[in-house]
Amino acid sequence: MKREPTETKESSALEVEVRAPSHAVEQLVARLEQRYPGRITGRLVRPASAARYCPLPPGLHPGLAQALAARGVERLYAHQREAWDRVAEGRHLVIATPTASGKTLCYNLPVLDAVLTRGVKALYLFPTKALAQDQVAELNALNQAATLGVKAFTFDGDTPGDARQAVRTRGDIVVSNPDMLHQAILPHHTKWAQFFEGLAFVVVDELHSYRGVFGSHVANVLRRLRRICRFYGVAPQFLFASATIANPAALAEGLIGEPVAAVTESGAPAGDRHLLLWNPPVINPDLGLRASARSQTTRLARLAAKAGLKTIVFARSRLMVEVITKYLKDVFDRDPRRPPRVLAYRGGYLPSERRVAEKAMRAGRVDLVVSTSALELGVDIGALDVAVLNGYPGTVAATWQRLGRAGRRLRPSLGVLVATSDPLDQYLVRHPEFFFDASPEQARIHPDQLLILLDHVRCAAFELPFQDGESFGGEDLAEMLGYLRDEGLLQRQGGRWYWIADSYPAQAVSLRSVAEGNFVVVEVTDGGSRVLAEVDYTAAPGTLYEGAIYMVQARPYQVERLDWVGRKAYVRATRADYYTDAIDYTRLKILDRFDLRPEGLAAAAHGEVHLVRRYPGYKKIRYYSHDNVGYGNINLPDQELHTTAVWWQVRPDALETLLPDRQQAIEGFLGAAYALHHVAVLRAMAELRDLGRAVGDGQGTWFATLGADGRGQLRGAENEPVGVGDLTGFEPTLFLYDNYPGGVGLSAPLFDEAVLLVRDALGLVAACPCPAGCPACIGPVLPGDEARAVTPKAAAQAVLGLLHGD
């Protein structure tokens, strides 16, 4: 088969500079189908839909009706009116309709009406500062349209100290985020007494983002909020807004612990939406290797931009955002004297830099935006025509949310999902009917996870004394309070538990993780010193090691020194023609087994494990060719955590009978772990980073990994090489673990579905057309593996068969 060229800075013959005609999206789709028919594995067209209208509600405040009319709104969409009616009934409410369907007005209308007619207060919560600022701009626009006089203020980390008192005492609507509620409002609620006494509404937007660890933390923050509201004699109505997920009402109920009504049928109009599933071409049939998703993504983005279409590219990692941005800037931003046409947008950038990027996007001065999931949420970034996804985001809901960022304001749109070599991606593009027909997943939270819950019990005790018999979450509160007393944090007097420590507990609790402490990136080029970015604790070891290339807007900086204790990385601008990628090893030891289920010659178990992650070195990878041009060492402390896991073990005699060669057995376990990991993510409705995988002996004395030569190898507790023949006993254990301290509830349902997981993994590997294994089933294999008597694919199938009980 003809090999596709690697990424180059030159444009293909198809890429011609044109102005966007009225049917530019349809024309681009036709050109792609004509030029690359073998790469498009599925196409879906969602035709435009007409609006369904309802009149404005009777009794609406006249000033508010005047403000709407001034902005061209003389009637409501059907779902907006339904939301008004549900709120009028006094019910908690969640609105879950597609992107750009007018959800904001669903909660703004009843809140503003109540503020104007009854003088009540409202608290708005958004997951990011950018969304909060968008909302204040929208409220101010309504204010100015009819001089309503409603005072809406943001309250976040950027709010000046001298303005905070005015926000607390004069704000009708305070727009903030869960982090500020957690660390700055609830612990100082006495300063907010006037606000809390009038609080009638709490609006929580982007509900679908409150899942996993973040959602579990936020559920506890809302428990604390409602506890303080009861202290001030109020019971606010909660109004949630969400993108499309399978269980919006259940998620909202999980966050506040009360029934929530749902509005899910949209009455808003929509333009034509075109969706293509794109599979990169095979460039090495023997190894099952395809052209990179990165090369296809940049090609599609160039084509769309040169057709005059505003385009957003979503990548799954911050590193990939920077690499793709560099490739696109090399085409469109060669002249440094002209304003940039390409912008990167991701977490870690300073707030001021993100605000500048958002303003440029809204003004239409940017043709290409490359982003992580940071722009998956509803930040107003203007009208976009094309959304290109570099890899499957991990859930159907997230995929549609990202695709929905294009086509806003009734414009026709195109979405392209470019598959990577990951098994999930390949399954979707080979079975387009699965994706087109699949319903969005359920968002799950686990607010009673012990470490998370205990953190918030500390915070709640600081805010108000607990009383004997009071409840907080589903765990035994009396036992937790007793533990905190023994730790010297609480004192019990007269049936109440008082905080007596000098510490400020909320400051030590991060809502985004179960670890704490961000790292600051400081540039020291030319003797200067300025803060460049922030990196969260969990990402720092694999991002900020000495020698790493750290990129901001595709500009490379090299890490010269990492102050691990002081949480600072010092970087200097460089012209390196490569980027870096950390290598990590994971070793697990079983601490406690909660449950065991024998399956013939194997057994599945669930329990607690101790995990050690080490970063021994990194690779230097050249741009465009992606050749490995060198290695470097990383000297960082091991990252340790206790978590929960599901694991599988095979009877040693059965394994030796089927795979007598221990080297083949190790490679079989590594391949089986790769397949099981990807299948489990789909089953758990999680993201790939939420689960980890490992192969070892279960006692932490050795673990298996892929060596630099691409072969499976064993390493000991100190990362030293271990020969397979040197082991006195050989009982490999395959782990899937919850990748958060203490776990967040993912491993227990995986254990319950252990039989289905193994069956699905067997089906995934067996159905893959590759001869010896490939990234779409068991992971990459080496040239010549197809000629081995027992291929890595066959070894993985043998291990999965044993795990299945065969």
Q: What pLDDT does residue 408 have?
A: 63
Buried b (16+ CB within 10 A) or exposed e, 94-121: bbbbbbbbbbbbbbbbbbbbbbbeeebb
Tens digits of residue pLDDT in 143-163: 888 888 899 999 987 788 888
171 vs 552: CA distance, rounded Å: 37
The H or E element that residue 796 is part of is helix 792-803
Q: 609-631: per-residue pLDDT in tens?
A: 998 888 888 989 888 877 888 88
Which of 140, 139, 133, 172 shows the shortest CA–CA distance to 156?
133
Q: Which residue has the higher pLDDT, 505 or 785?
A: 505
Residue 800 has pLDDT above 90, yes or no: yes
CATH code for the part of the protein at 25-48+270-437? 3.40.50.300
Integer Cα distance of 245 and 251 in angstroms? 9
The answer to whether the beta carbons of residues 552 and 532 sit under 8 Å apart is yes
Residue 789, C-beta contacts closer than 8 angstroms, at least 6 positions apart? none
pLDDT of 709: 61
Contact present, 555 and 330 (Cβ < 8 Å)? no
Predicted TM-score of the model (pTM): 0.74
Residue 17 clears pLDDT 50, i.e. is over it: no
Q: Tell me the pLDDT band of 279, cut-offs 50, 70 and 90.
A: very high
pLDDT at 490 over 80: yes
pLDDT band at 307; cut points 50, 70, 90: very high
Using 50, 70 and 90 to split pLDDT, how confident is the model at 441?
A: low
**Backbone phi, then psi, for 348, in 5-degree steps?**
100, -25
pLDDT in tens, 536-566: 777 888 899 999 999 888 889 999 999 988 8
- Per DSSP, the residues of 494-558 read TTEEEE--S--GGGG--TT-SS--PEEEEE-GGG--EEEEEE-TTTGGGTSSTT-EEEETTEEEE
Q: How far is CA 676 from CA 430, 680, 688, 800, in A?
A: 19, 6, 11, 9
696-744 pLDDT, tens digit per residue, is 988 888 888 876 566 778 888 777 888 877 777 788 999 999 887 777 7
Distance of CA 753 to the CA centre of its chain: 24
- What is the per-residue pLDDT for 779? 84
Q: How much is the pLDDT for 16?
A: 37
pLDDT tens digits for range 569-579: 999 999 999 99
Report the top-level CATH class of 53-263.
Answer: alpha beta
Q: State the Cα–Cα distance between residues 772 and 793, nearest whole angstrom.
A: 5
Question: Residue 379: its pLDDT value, please?
Answer: 63
pLDDT at site 435: 78
Tokens of 775: 């990234």
Bigger pLDDT: 329 or 352?
Answer: 329
How many helices and strands (H and E) does the chain possess? 23, 35
Please give the Cα distance from 366 to 363 (Å, whole number): 8
The secondary structure element, H or E, covering residue 717 is none
Per-residue pLDDT reduced to its tens digit, 735-784: 999 887 777 778 888 999 899 999 999 988 998 888 888 878 888 787 77
Asked if the model's pLDDT at residue 8 lies above 70, the reply is no
Model pLDDT for residues 452-472, shown as the tens digit of each residue: 899 999 999 999 999 999 999
**Residue 587: what pLDDT?**
86
- Amino acid sitting at position 266: S
* 518-538 mean pLDDT: 84
Which one of 1.20.1250, 2.40.10, 2.60.40, 3.40.1350 gives the CATH number of domain 519-576?
Answer: 2.40.10
Q: What is the per-residue burial (b if ≥16 Cβ within 10 Å, else e) of 146-179? A: bebebbbbbbbeebeeeeeeebbeebbbbbbbbb
Cβ atoms of 384 and 371 within 8 Å: the answer is: no
For residue 209, pLDDT over 60 is answered with yes
Task: State residue 796's pLDDT score.
Answer: 95
What value does the mean pLDDT take over residues 53-82?
93
Highest mean pLDDT among 12-26, 323-337, 366-380: 323-337
Question: pLDDT-derived band of residue 439, with 50, 70 and 90 as boundaries?
Answer: low
Query: pLDDT band at 508, cuts 50/70/90?
Result: confident
- Using alpha carbons, list the distances in angstroms from residue 157 to 153, 162, 179, 305, 316: 13, 13, 9, 36, 27
Q: Is the pLDDT of residue 534 over 50?
A: yes
pLDDT band at 517 (very low <50, low <70, confident <90, very high): low
Distance of alpha carbon 132 from alpha carbon 109, whole angstroms: 17
182 and 462 in contact (C-beta within 8 Å)?
no
What is the average pLDDT value for the chain, to the nearest integer?
A: 87
Question: Does 13 score more than 70 pLDDT?
Answer: no
Whether 2 has a pLDDT exceeding 60, the answer reads: no
